Copies of this chain bind each other. A is one copy, B any other.
Amino acid sequence: MSLNNRQVLLASRPQTEPSTENFRLVDTPVPALQDGEVLVRHKFLSLDPYMRGRMNDSKSYAAPQPLDAVMIGGTVGEVVDSRSPRFKAGDAVVGMGGWQQYSVVDANVPGLLRKVDTTHIPLSAYLGAVGMPGVTAWYGLTQIIEPKAGETVLVSAASGAVGSAVGQLAKLRGARAVGLAGGAEKCRYVTETLGFDACIDYRQHPDLKSLSAALKQACPDGVDGHFENVGGLVLDAMMLRANAFARVALCGMIAGYNGEPIPLQHPQLMLTNRMKVQGFIVSEHMDKWPEALAELGGLVATGRLKYHETVAQGIDAAPEAFIGLLKGRNFGKQLVAL
């Protein structure tokens, strides 16, 4: 009797904000393994903002998620059966297994599945601080912002999986880290637990004038580097406080995923402040991953890189948890325990 694999498919494309109606749960039998294949039982599924972009049928950096197919997503789990000499039952592995309980992976395709060490690093961290979000933070900070000691680095969504790592990595390089987060609790976590120098509750500053004033107070020496996870108002306000030669790493513009226009109010500041504004997608820079993962793994193993997880329970909870992520209801890395 074959195992049952519960999956979440993309049922329809959202017109504005996604709802649970856009997803469909199905039960599928796990197929028998072919030679060279590995069966992985997923323990955690990662939910990430980029998935919202894939739900659209529009030109983007990645192909859209096909309708009626399993939603794309990073997973960690355990090999439960193997017909490949590369993996054996019991191996802890990280891959792109998607929103489902099991995946069958061709072990001969390089990079699809990677064995990980769980002696010093918790399995779930490979979806966060020692995974794609951590490398995203590392890449934008070290390759685009390149902070110098004493400079001020600003980070939006600072309590999130990416933002929390950006600020801590900036601090380790001698920079001053200032976060933006939604709500007093998240802000307290950002300064007290993560060790940022300051954190602004953006919900208290709904307009440009107010947010810009808050930034001036939190960044008395101006902003030298900015890691942008949000876009819109935050980016406008940051540009008003940018120092000469400020660098902006554009990682996310979550405010625009639903298609509403978010014009940049003062683009001429990019010229007058001689700014560099650069977008990036971390999956296009695989050559840098080993260096990034080595630093991130070492920091997590020694407790110097902290992170927080919000864990939804069971595959059925994934759509609701994803919608919550887009609304900022999560706290740190959003996972689904399977």
Residues on A close to B: CB < 8 A? 53, 59-61, 231, 235, 244, 250-253, 256, 261-268, 270-281, 284
Contact = CB atoms under 8 A, between A and B. Distances in A.
A205 to B, nearest CB: 20
Nearest to A144: B276
B277 A235 contact: no
Contact of A272 (B60, B235, B271, B276): B60
Q: State the copy count for this chain.
A: 2
The A interface, classified by DSSP as helix, strand, loop or mixed, is loop
Given A60-B272, A272-B60, A276-B278, A267 B253 contact: yes
Contact of A268 (B256, B270, B281, B284): B256
Contact of A263 (B53, B59, B251, B267): B267
B281 A274 contact: yes
A279 B284 contact: no
A307 to B, nearest CB: 24
A244 B61 contact: yes
Contacts of A267: 231, 235, 253, 262-264, 267
A275 B270 CA distance: 14
Nearest to A270: B279
Nearest to A263: B263
A222 to B, nearest CB: 12
Nearest to A53: B272
A266 B255 CA distance: 12
Contact of A284 (B59, B262, B265, B274): B274
Contacts of A60: 272
